[in-house]
């Protein structure tokens, strides 16, 4: 069977259910995740570190196991049965992910190791080919380091200028002066769909329209949105979008860059080597077509196939249902956590954020909070969350963060709050 761009794929692996269920059966979902049955120090595991990395359902684990047991072979390079099967599964996963994000063509989906590599691909390929001294890149103060450092490197190398949309005290972006920040010299506007620190859900379509009005391309960091809510790249109208598999029930070592086909076609390769070429001579080469032009060497085959299985699981659960469940759980968590003496929640109200809550607790270091909670089998994140500038904006070095996903419950929130009360006792706040 052929997809929209004419590529062959296995239709049995790309049929989408697009479940629109109105509520999640969390008990049934939890049964699909073997690790949630684990005990830590004799207590049931409470896993609240999903913004860093999600857990994996049995369907994904089985897919990885089945690939390695039955199909393991390199892709695109063999005519034997195993290679052809591996290639079909690998490309079927690409087609499924393409459909999942609303892309018009699977060839617009480039496999990368993670979202960080995807942003670096844009910076090193598109950036080096198009940005000159005096050009501007607009970012925001809430960006993950992955959407800051590559542009800083390019700025030092090329003399481009960086500017930033500021963050208000409540954790939302100050967009009143966006027209001033988006100058005729702004070539790219890069921003996150949702802050991984304060949880703010940004107005992506409004910001994208402003960027395009100024003549800039728009790059969206969707690491915290694609796993948790419906995302359609055509509706959002962005030019590039990146996300990581390990945050959306998939394996580590796999992520994706989506880009408009005409932009990707005009970009030079990011890396050179096998599979990204059409033909090679001693002194010159011709590049392969999309998407393989950007996928040099043996790719993360099993991981891509595993991500396809993760997307199938999310489709069955229903992204709209997942988003609503997380909004409800976050509102409940913020209400309960406000009962803890000395605890300050960072960021906006529950109706303006996704499924995470970062906080500080008196003068207790976040690492001490996380260590104390770990003693109660409660896993949260502590540190600067790869967003040091945003922490500097709040005048703090670090924060603690609880983040939720489709398998978390109000009972787990209650256990977290009970644990935080215990932290208050331990540190005599």
Q: What is the CATH number of the domain that holds 332?
A: 3.90.1150.10
CA dist., res. 29 & res. 117, Å (int): 31
Assess whether 305 and 337 both reside in one domain: no
The better pLDDT of the pair 330, 290 is held by 330
For 222-267, the pLDDT digits (tens) are 999 999 999 999 999 999 999 999 999 999 999 999 999 999 999 9
Cβ atoms of residues 308 and 13 within 8 Å: yes
Assess whether 369 and 311 both reside in one domain: no
Query: Residue 65: its pLDDT value, please?
Result: 98
**Sorting pLDDT into bands at 50, 70 and 90, what band is 136?**
very high
Instruction: Please say if the pLDDT value at position 39 is more than 50.
Output: yes
Q: What angle (nearest 5°) sits at the alpha carbon of residue 378, between those of residues 372 and 380? A: 85
Query: Is 20 part of any domain?
Result: no
Last residue of a domain, one of 315, 349, 376: 315
Assess whether 273 and 401 both reside in one domain: no
Structural domain for 407, as ranges:
319-424
Q: Which residues are catalytic?
A: 386
CA dist., res. 89 & res. 77, Å (int): 14
Query: Is 240 part of any domain?
Result: yes
Last residue of a domain, one of 298, 315, 332: 315
E strands, 303-383, in order = 343-346, 356-361, 378-379, 381-383
Query: Residue 164: its pLDDT value, please?
Result: 98
Assess whether 137 and 226 both reside in one domain: yes
Assess whether 249 and 158 both reside in one domain: yes
CA dist., res. 198 & res. 144, Å (int): 12
Assess whether 271 and 420 both reside in one domain: no
| Mean of the per-residue pLDDT values of the chain | 93
Lowest mean pLDDT among 22-26, 131-135, 186-190, 339-343: 22-26
Query: Is 78 part of any domain?
Result: yes
Last residue of a domain, one of 294, 315, 336: 315
**Sorting pLDDT into bands at 50, 70 and 90, what band is 16?**
very low
CA dist., res. 134 & res. 130, Å (int): 12
CA dist., res. 424 & res. 429, Å (int): 5
Cβ atoms of residues 334 and 171 within 8 Å: no
End-to-end CA distance of the chain: 64
Q: What is the CATH number of the domain that holds 112?
A: 3.40.640.10
Structure tokens at 143: 């960006």
Query: Residue 286: its pLDDT value, please?
Result: 85
The total of structural domains in the chain comes to 2
Query: Residue 239: its pLDDT value, please?
Result: 98
Specify the 3-state DSSP secondary structure of 349: coil
């Amino acid at each position: 069977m052929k997809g929209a761009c004419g590529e062959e794929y296995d239709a049995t692996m790309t049929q989408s259910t697009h479940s629109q269920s109105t509520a999640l059966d969390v008990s049934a979902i939890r049964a699909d995740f073997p690790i949630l049955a684990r005990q830590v120090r004799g207590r049931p595991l409470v896993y609240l570190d999903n913004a860093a990395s999600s857990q994996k359902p049995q369907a994904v684990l089985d897919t990885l196991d089945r690939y390695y047991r039955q199909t393991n072979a390199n892709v695109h390079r063999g005519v034997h049965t195993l290679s052809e099967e591996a290639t079909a599964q690998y490309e079927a996963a690409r087609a499924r992910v393409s459909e999942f994000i609303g892309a018009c063509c699977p060839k617009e989906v480039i496999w990368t190791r993670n979202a960080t590599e995807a942003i670096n691909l844009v910076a090193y390929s598109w950036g080096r080919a198009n940005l000159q001294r005096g050009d501007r890149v607009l970012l925001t103060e809430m960006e993950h380091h992955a959407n800051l450092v590559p542009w800083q490197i390019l700025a030092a190398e090329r003399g481009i200028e960086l500017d930033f949309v500021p963050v208000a005290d409540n954790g939302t972006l100050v967009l009143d002066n966006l027209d001033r920040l988006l100058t005729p010299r702004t070539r790219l506007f890069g921003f996150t769909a949702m802050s991984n620190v304060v949880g703010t859900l940004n107005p992506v379509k409004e910001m994208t329209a402003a960027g395009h009005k100024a003549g800039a391309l728009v790059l969206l960091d969707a690491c915290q949105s694609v796993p948790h809510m419906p995302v359609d790249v055509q509706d959002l109208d962005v030019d590039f979008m990146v996300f990581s598999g390990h945050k959306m029930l998939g394996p580590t070592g796999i992520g994706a860059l989506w880009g408009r086909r005409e932009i990707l076609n005009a970009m030079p390769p990011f890396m050179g080597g096998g599979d990204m070429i059409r033909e090679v001579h001693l002194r010159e080469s011709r590049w392969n077509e999309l998407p393989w032009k950007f996928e040099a060497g043996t790719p993360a085959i099993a991981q891509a196939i595993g991500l396809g299985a993760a997307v199938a699981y999310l489709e069955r659960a229903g992204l709209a249902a997942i988003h609503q469940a997380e909004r409800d759980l976050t509102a409940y968590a913020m209400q309960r956590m406000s009962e803890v003496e000395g605890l300050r929640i960072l960021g906006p109200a529950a109706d303006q954020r996704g499924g995470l809550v970062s906080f500080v607790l008196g003068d207790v270091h976040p690492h001490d909070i996380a260590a104390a909670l770990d003693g109660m089998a409660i896993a949260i994140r502590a540190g600067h969350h790869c967003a040091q500038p945003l922490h500097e904006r709040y005048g703090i070095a670090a924060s603690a963060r609880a983040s939720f996903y489709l398998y978390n419950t109000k009972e787990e929130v209650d256990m977290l709050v009970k644990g935080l009360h215990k932290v208050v006792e331990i540190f005599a706040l």
